[in-house]
Amino acid sequence: MNHTSYTVLTRDQIAERAAQDIPDGAYVNLGIGLPTKIAKYLPDDKDVFLHSENGLLAFGPPPAKGEEDPELINAGKEYVTMLDGGSFFHHGDSFAMMRGGHIDICVLGAFQVAANGDLANWSTGAPDAIPAVGGAMDLAVGAKKVFVMTNHTTKTGDPKIVSKLTYPVTGKNCVDRIYTDLCVIDVTDKGLAVTEMVDGLSFADLQALTGATLIDATNSK
């Protein structure tokens, strides 16, 4: 989408950017929805072990069209492939990995992220909303690092990054980094530090689209 002076990142571009920050050898859980796109953009020269709540470890990108296996899906019911050495296990064991602190990074979507790192990603309180938080709660608390991928605002222009959550909480003080279609933000003890912005976007414009105070850290890299 083009604006007067800047171009918003596509969903795939957000995923591609987030994939760059996943280190070699990491055990990573990709949340349902936008985060699953990261699997397509992990570089071949890195060994990244993808984990899914339904009991998969070391799965790869989506299969080519016509090569889908209906018994090989992730927790979001999307087709996946398995890498050499990949394994299958009971979802009880899968949750033990999550709750036991064995996942290095989880990447989740969000309805809202608060300035202190609180995350809301399972319900907006709407009557027809999904009735339970699911595995996101375990991931938000159990993973060593939590990355969030989301559009910067809702379709109606309301900020998703806010001073305090107004939606039901998934996890408190758990988010470490936020990737949006406009910027990358680190959640720090001092506040929300913007480390990258799309070309042509001013810090003042970004702040105006955000419901919490931001810190301009784009020159500190």
| Cross-strand pairs, 159 | 153
Q: What is the DSSP-derived secondary structure letter of residue 196?
A: E
Give the chain's radius of gyration (CA, Å). Answer: 17
Tokens, residue 190: 């001092």
Residue 118 DSSP code: -
Catalytic residue among 16, 53, 71, 196: 53
179 token code pair: 């990737």
Q: Taking the chain, what is the end-to-end CA distance rounded to the nearest angstrom? A: 27
∠ Cα 208 9 173 (to 5°): 60
Q: Tell me the residue ranges of DSSP E strands in 35-163.
A: 49-52, 56-60, 81-88, 105-108, 112-114, 119-120, 145-149, 161-162
Say if CB 46 and CB 24 are below 8 A apart: yes
CB burial class (10 A; 0-12, 13-18, 19+) of residue 125?
exposed
Task: Examine the residue annotation and report whether 53 is marked as an active-site residue of this protein.
Answer: yes
Place of tokens 């699997």: 39
CA dihedral 206, 211, 213, 216 (to 10 degrees): -20
Which residues are part of the catalytic machinery? 53
